[in-house]
Amino acid sequence: MFSRSLTDLEQRSLKSVEKFPQSLRRFVEHGYRIVPLPIREGQIFRNWKKFLDESQWWSKSEIEEYQLENLSKLLNHACKNVPYYRSLFKREGIKPADIDDFDKLSLIPPLTKNIIKNNLDKLKAQNYSESKFKLTATSGSTGVPTVFYHEKGKSKAIEQAFHWRYRNTIGVKYSDEYIYLTGIVTNLNRFDEKVSWSKYYIPYRILVLSSFHLNDFYLKRYVKLIRSRPNSILFGFPSNLYALAKYLEKNEETLDNIKLTHTGSENSYPYQRSLMESQFNSRVFDHYGNAELCALFHQCEQADLYHIVPEYGVSEIINQHGKVAKNMGDIGKLYATSLTNYIFPFIRYDTEDIIEYSGKSCKCGRSFSTIKSIQGRIQEFLVDRTGIKMSLTGVIGALHGMVFKNMEKFQFFQEERGETILKIVKRDAFTNLDKDSILKTLYSKMGKDINIKIEFVDDIKRTSRGKFIWVEQKLSI
Ligand SMILES: [Zn+2]
């Protein structure tokens, strides 16, 4: 899931500022800061942003027309210039012209992470010069990272245009300050091995707070820093911001000067959102994206639904019968086709993320298709004895509601079908009664085809990028 903002920031900050001598850096940084963002982001950004500001009000038929036209363009390009697709289409006996509606997309076999790993060179478009390829990877927080390519100087600019259309929609201005709670700060400075817990990036107006320092000692300092920057946007992984909200609740405090809160990268649960909204006194907006830049969903400013951003790509939610979800409440795996990436095309890419379709039309007036919830990565499911994969959405909410006050953290571990260990970092007040009620709740949610053991641990570590994962899943599912 989405985690690239920080990497973007890292690369751009380092590149643009580090070429100057130390003595001049501060001066240069302040210079960058006053250049308006659309100018700094360049022509590709500005063209896309202008287009997107208009296209968001298109009718359903205009959207479909755009998607089909661009899909056809992409398929023709892939068939002509990308060796992997050329041989795939030949093998399957399909021509790009055969795919003239969304249902026919299913004629193309999905692109899996494994296929990418084994065909990295064959997936590169041959009509691009080598200098245009920028090697990129997913964070690999729940497994081995997937490596692929973006187009240098273009992919990120287009991506930023989509993000800024959304940010503008929810009320963010180009000049607003951001406070990030997304990762470890030391990652951002390759010259400084020392772990630091906060860093302010002058050109980008971003204060980064480390998600590896979420204890009372640092949270107190975080709150002070946040209060000193009124009207900022809080941006981060839900688990990090929830820890901040929890701290405020415990100390009977609230934040009263946050413009809004924006989350991404991890599943966002209703219990997290409601606590954040009450402790931060601001609306929480969530979004879903992936480093492969194939699918983008944004929570609407006027509803709890997520928009499927249609100019970005074609998203198919494949239900348990292998068909594209068309009914409200259908849950399935997301296959995503990027409509903006020609250098390394992702066509029906199996994201391994599980999505709940809504299909409800949105009251904001946009004709975008909608989804109800993001259920998470398939690796974050538990598998029972019979092979059934169980989402943890309901389970995690129930655990928090029950005894979170007596538990610091928890995480599931699975390496065998039908067996799981719930690791708990307990607080002093934790008793056997808590243990019994946890097990009772889990069995009532997950059934009897899974054996649950509880193990007490001293700590549960985040991934190297500061994400929290709910299941350490050792099975390949
Ligand atoms: Zn809407």
pLDDT at 140 over 70: no
CA dist 415 and 128 (Å) reads 43
Per residue in 347-399, pLDDT tens? Answer: 999 998 889 999 888 999 999 999 998 887 766 788 888 887 777 766 777 77
Average pLDDT over residues 18-45: 83
Per residue in 314-325, pLDDT tens? Answer: 999 998 788 898
Domains of the chain, CATH where assigned: 4-35+157-289 (3.40.50), 60-153+291-378 (3.40.50.12780), 381-473 (3.30.300.30)
Q: Say which range, 20-29, 165-174, 247-256, 335-344, has the weakest mean pLDDT.
A: 20-29
| Contact yes or no for 256/280 (Cβ under 8 A) | no
pLDDT at 3 over 60: no
| Contact yes or no for 233/172 (Cβ under 8 A) | yes
CA 369 to ligand 1 center in whole angstroms = 9
Using pLDDT thresholds of 50, 70 and 90, give the confidence band for residue 346: very high
| pLDDT value at residue 164 | 95
Q: Which residues surround ligand 1, an ion (CB under 5 A)?
A: 300, 362, 364
CA dist 337 and 78 (Å) reads 12
> Which is more confident, 265 or 371?
371
Average pLDDT over residues 31-36: 84
pLDDT at 162 over 90: yes
With H, G, I as helix, E, B as strand and everything else as coil, classify residue 46. Answer: helix
CA 269 to ligand 1 center in whole angstroms = 20
**Going by C-beta distance under 8 Å and a sequence separation of 6 or more, which residues neighbour residue 39?**
none
Average pLDDT over residues 265-280: 88
Indicate the average pLDDT of the chain: 86
| Contact yes or no for 264/272 (Cβ under 8 A) | no
Choose among 155, 204, 162: nearest CA to 50: 162
- Token readout for 41 is 């982001």
Distances (CA, A) of 20 to 15, 24, 102, 189: 10, 6, 51, 15
Angle at 173 between CA 168 and CA 176, to 5 degrees: 140
With H, G, I as helix, E, B as strand and everything else as coil, classify residue 472. Answer: strand
pLDDT at 465 over 70: no
CA 36 to ligand 1 center in whole angstroms = 28
| pLDDT value at residue 174 | 94
| Contact yes or no for 287/298 (Cβ under 8 A) | yes
Query: Treating both helix axes as pointing N-terminal to C-terminal, what angle do 238-250 and 216-227 enclose, rounded to 10 degrees?
Result: 90
Using pLDDT thresholds of 50, 70 and 90, give the confidence band for residue 55: very high
Per residue in 168-225, pLDDT tens? Answer: 999 999 999 999 987 666 544 444 445 578 888 888 888 888 877 788 888 999 999 9
| pLDDT value at residue 405 | 66
pLDDT at 273 over 60: yes
CA 298 to ligand 1 center in whole angstroms = 9
Q: Say which range, 290-299, 341-350, 441-450, has the weakest mean pLDDT.
A: 441-450
| pLDDT value at residue 5 | 45
Give residue 12's region: left, alpha or beta (phi > 0; psi -120 to 50): alpha
Helical spans, DSSP H, in 315-364: none
Torsional sign, CA 264, 269, 275, 281: positive
Average pLDDT over residues 299-320: 92
| Contact yes or no for 264/286 (Cβ under 8 A) | yes
> Which is more confident, 167 or 266?
167
CA 282 to ligand 1 center in whole angstroms = 19
Average pLDDT over residues 110-132: 95
CA dist 167 and 153 (Å) reads 22
| pLDDT value at residue 35 | 86
Global pTM exceeds 0.85: no
Element at 426 (helix H, strand E)? strand 419-426
* DSSP secondary structure string for all residues of 215-240: SHHHHHHHHHHHHTSTTEEEEE-HHH
Using pLDDT thresholds of 50, 70 and 90, give the confidence band for residue 101: very high
CA 444 to ligand 1 center in whole angstroms = 35
CA 359 to ligand 1 center in whole angstroms = 12
> Which is more confident, 441 or 378?
441
CA dist 447 and 7 (Å) reads 41
Helical spans, DSSP H, in 82-233: 83-92, 113-118, 155-169, 216-227
- Give helix then strand counts, H and E, for the chain: 13, 20
| pLDDT value at residue 461 | 80
- Residue tagged 């909608």 (tokens): 370
CA dist 258 and 402 (Å) reads 29
The neighbouring-strand residues paired with 377 are 353
CA 264 to ligand 1 center in whole angstroms = 18
CA 366 to ligand 1 center in whole angstroms = 6
CA dist 385 and 448 (Å) reads 9
CA 55 to ligand 1 center in whole angstroms = 14
**In the chain, pLDDT over 70 holds for what percent of residues?**
89
Centre a 10 Å sphere on the Cβ of residue 203 and count the other Cβ atoms it contains: 19
